[in-house]
Amino acid sequence: MPPVVLALRRLPQPRLTGLGAGLFASAVMLTLGLLDRLLFDGSPVIYGLLFLPVSALTALWVRAADLVTAPIGVPIAFAVGVVPIAGGSGGLGGQAMAVVTALAVHAGWLYGGTLVAGLIASVRKVREMGRRQHARAMAPVAGEAPGAGAGSGGRGRTPRRRPVA
């Protein structure tokens, strides 16, 4: 296997609920936003670059039943984390306007991270559906002995034929 795949398999495999994935992404992005403001004076490029792996991890760590929440939760997390780097002055109104402006100006990073989460969640969903279909095809039919499926050459029951009138 390629070294990248081996490295990814060594990562922890938590399975977060949809709410847990959203809270994880929001907490991490808020922390990264605060660190970005302290260390890099609120650089939107660094914040955006850090948003991409958080989006990927959120989509990888959400459980299969909640895959649809990953592309929904990461934009919310981006908005939560952009508050510290948005700047703004003049009270609550000035801060809110700075956040809205930052979201509009840095929409490319927002769309990119959402796309990453959406693609990963879609691939995981397709693989999960394939696994389920394969498991269903391999399961014995109810009332049939194992190995006696149609076309298997087993000693299963033969179908009844209708009499020709």
The structure's pTM equals: 0.74
Number of Cβ within 10 Å of residue 81's Cβ equals 25
Question: Which pLDDT tens digit goes with each residue over 87-125?
Answer: 878 788 888 899 999 999 999 999 999 999 999 999 999
In which residue are the tokens 């939560």 written?
80
Question: Which pLDDT tens digit goes with each residue over 67-84?
Answer: 999 999 999 999 999 999
Percent of the chain with pLDDT over 90: 55
Nearest to 81, CA basis, from 34, 43, 46: 34
Joined tokens for residue 78: 């981006």
Q: How confident is the model at residue 137 (pLDDT cuts 50, 70, 90)?
A: confident
- Produce one character per residue of 131-141: b if its CB has 16 or more CB atoms within 10 Å, e if not: eeeeeeeeeee
CA distances from 87 to 47, 83, 90, 118 (A): 14, 8, 10, 29
- C-alpha Rg value of the chain to the nearest Å: 25
